[in-house]
Amino acid sequence: MNKSFLRRGFLWLCPGFVLIGTVAAQQNDRPSPTADTFSRDGQLYVGVDYYPEHWPKERRETDVLLMKEAGFNVVRLAEFSWVWLEPSEGTYRFEWLDEVLALLERHGMKAILGTPTAVMPAWVARKYPETLAMQSNGQRYTWGSRKDYSLSSGTYRLLSERITRAMAEHFAETPNVIGWQTDNEFAGPQDFSETSRIDFQDWLRRKYGTLETFNQSWGTHFWGHIIRDWAEITIPDCTGEGMWGISGNPSACLDWRRFNSWINYRFQADQVKILRAGNPDWFITHNLMGLNPTISYYELGRDLDFVSWDNYPVLSRSSQPYAASMTADLMRGVKQKNFWIMEQTAGPLGWGIFTDTPMPGEIRKISYQQLAHGADAQIWFRWRTATAGREQYWHGLLGHDGRPLRRYREAAQVAHEYRRLEKMLEGTTVEAEVAIIYDYETIWSLASQPGYAGNNYARAIARYYNALFRAGINVDLISPEVDLSGYKLVLAPHLVILPDARARKLIAFVEQGGVLLTDIRTGVKDENNLAHERTLPGLLSDVLGIEIEEYGALDDRSYPVFSEELFPDTLAAIHYVDWVTPKSAAVMARYDQWHLEPFAAVTRHEAGRGIAWYVGTVFQEDSFYDHLIDRLLEDAGVERWVDLPEGVEASIRQGDGRKLVFLINHNETEASVAIEPGKRDLLEGEVLGDRVMLGPYGVAVIAW
């Protein structure tokens, strides 16, 4: 696990929730999302990440008995255990892990093994120093951390394949090993070694074929940075500090980020091939890091049976946990199927300092929120809090003392409740009528050129996602390559990278009856990160019914915006404005600013059988996005089926003739939600009236 607070964008979840069930699944034209991550025996897996190598051998029996008593049925093992498994090159020691697996098997528990390549043994770094990545200053990483490897090192790739193959062959017939997690939280590091530079050059040669095409794609005519030999290509400086010449070339930086995503995919693909040969019945997954921007999870997920992710919401009671649900929806969107939680919050989080502890009921609510968005298994990190190393303050279900106290009991409650729900949950997934396009290449483009101060792609999407969250509407976060035909409403905010083929796809979606929302900076660049030679919004101009004459950043200024169509009060435009000229579009909001009076802030245009909206600024107030989403849902014919009190979330899982509606209270105070009377609470076994009362961090499950 990578536990850096600043890098992971932690999430937080809160109180109380309801699950309602049974009605026919909706049909749509696109391939239905799948719910096939459930185990072959129909069990919903619940368990812990376990590190028996950290504790005396005599403790194992106690641990496993406590897990069994809690209702757990799976553990993850060995993802950081390379040095125990191969203490010296070519010498394998699997006996200790055999003993642990046999103990788990005696108590009816399954296991997921990790390929242990995220942390190399000291002998690897000492014998093969080229396996350590090189920093941009020309110094090798010093052994003693994790994720310090060079994925361009043939030596490291070979050693990783050897330990993966040895494990796959040894555990191929172990009956309770059900699957594998590759490595751990892929995310780098970027390697600036000569080996990496040559690897990058080879990747570019395969991509572009000829130097002529390469030079055109990177725009190397600017400042005369023409490349005449592949060997002349350097690793660009994309830190934002060295922005001169080819070092700051946006096209070079986009390809460098693509390359770094690809080498992680390549490294994983080597392991996947070995594991598939070892036992075709194993599943293979990887624990993704939510909204981490460094790797395309669409690419990384390609070889996996399903994706997993590590859910560490910020335990901050001052805000709602929008990001936790948004990330879950992205994880489900990576492969258009349900996902697992491989590391779930179990206690206070931190390395040097730590957060508050989860409140009573909060661990339970965190778990149910993920269940509501498509999690088919949940594994708490970790079983027992480590007494040594960097994660002494990253707390598990048990504390340093190993006693099964409040957090353990709450996790046990969840596990036993899940066992009662698993038959209702099997075969269900989230089927959304609304999608948000989530594009890694736009993330990477904005990393080099955000355009205006404070621009952030995840925040740009969150403005709309959070309003949908407040409206109780399920959302799919999807790749730009996904078929849009089954959605009624598609939002494509800040889609800076817009190749012509993708633009035509959005146009066709509208003309065939869909409702599209896009906004500022959309369609600025092509697939090479070169600016389109067109008036914005380029190919989308006709379908949106607008042209953008000019644009500008506002820095610390704001402009008033008024509307007779969307919202009653004057609101504030901040950060950025497009000077939108309506051609055939209706003006839905205007600026109350002298030089912007001829231009629109928000437009709506009927095109073909559909409707296309454009938002030409960032609004300071959340209320704008709430009003806008209400109107978009109305245009798209998407039913807003429930009125939610503030801080209460709704999500629906459905399939196999069942409909499960989750209502989740994210408040420390009681909340009440109106429902159709006569429904049965699956956990309490009672028939409900016309309202559901949710206590602080409370959970209810209702069958419809």
Model confidence over 221-230: pLDDT tens digits? 999 999 999 9
Q: What is the mean pLDDT of the chain?
A: 92
pLDDT category at 640 given cuts 50, 70, 90 is: very high
Looking at 2-68, which runs of residues are DSSP E strands? 17-20, 45-49
**Residue intervals in the chain for CATH 3.20.20.80:** 37-195+259-425
> Minimal CA–CA distance to 540: which of 518, 560, 558, 571?
518
Q: Which residue has the tokens 């989308």?
A: 540
The yes-or-no verdict on residue 64 having pLDDT over 60 is yes
* Class of residue 625 by CB neighbours under 10 A (exposed 0-12, middle 13-18, buried 19+): buried
The listed CATH number (1.10.1580.10, 3.10.450.50, 3.30.300.130, 3.20.20.80) that belongs to domain 37-195+259-425: 3.20.20.80
The yes-or-no verdict on residue 23 having pLDDT over 60 is no
* Residues forming the active site: 185, 343
Residues contacting residue 145 through CB under 8 Å, at least 6 positions apart: none
pLDDT category at 245 given cuts 50, 70, 90 is: very low
Q: SS3 for 694?
A: strand
Higher pLDDT, 12 or 374: 374
> Residue 143 corresponds to which amino acid?
W
Residue 67 has a pLDDT of 98
CB 232 within 8 A of CB 291: no
The yes-or-no verdict on residue 423 having pLDDT over 80 is yes
Q: How far is CA 25 from CA 19, 39, 134, 540, in A?
A: 16, 22, 52, 34
Per-residue pLDDT tens digits for 582-593: 999 999 999 999
Rounded average pLDDT over 208-228:
96
CB 375 within 8 A of CB 429: no
pLDDT category at 38 given cuts 50, 70, 90 is: low
Kindly report the CATH number that applies to the domain delimited by 434-636.
Answer: 3.40.50.880
Q: Using alpha carbons only, how large is the chain's radius of gyration in Å?
A: 26
The yes-or-no verdict on residue 261 having pLDDT over 60 is yes
pLDDT category at 681 given cuts 50, 70, 90 is: confident
Pull the structure tokens for residue 436: 């948000």
The yes-or-no verdict on residue 31 having pLDDT over 60 is no
Strands 45-49 and 600-607: unpaired
Rounded average pLDDT over 613-642:
97
The yes-or-no verdict on residue 4 having pLDDT over 70 is no
How many other β-carbons are positioned within 10 Å of the β-carbon of residue 696? 18
> Minimal CA–CA distance to 547: which of 610, 628, 496, 614?
614
**Residue intervals in the chain for CATH 3.40.50.880:** 434-636
- pTM over 0.85? The answer is yes
User: Half-sphere exposure (CA, 13 Å, Cβ side) for 481?
Assistant: 8
Give dist(CA 440, CA 279) in Å, integer: 33
CB 373 within 8 A of CB 651: yes
Give start and end residues of each alpha helix (H) in 490-552: 500-511, 541-544
* DSSP conformational letter for 262: H
Pull the structure tokens for residue 610: 């559909």
Pull the structure tokens for residue 54: 């950290």
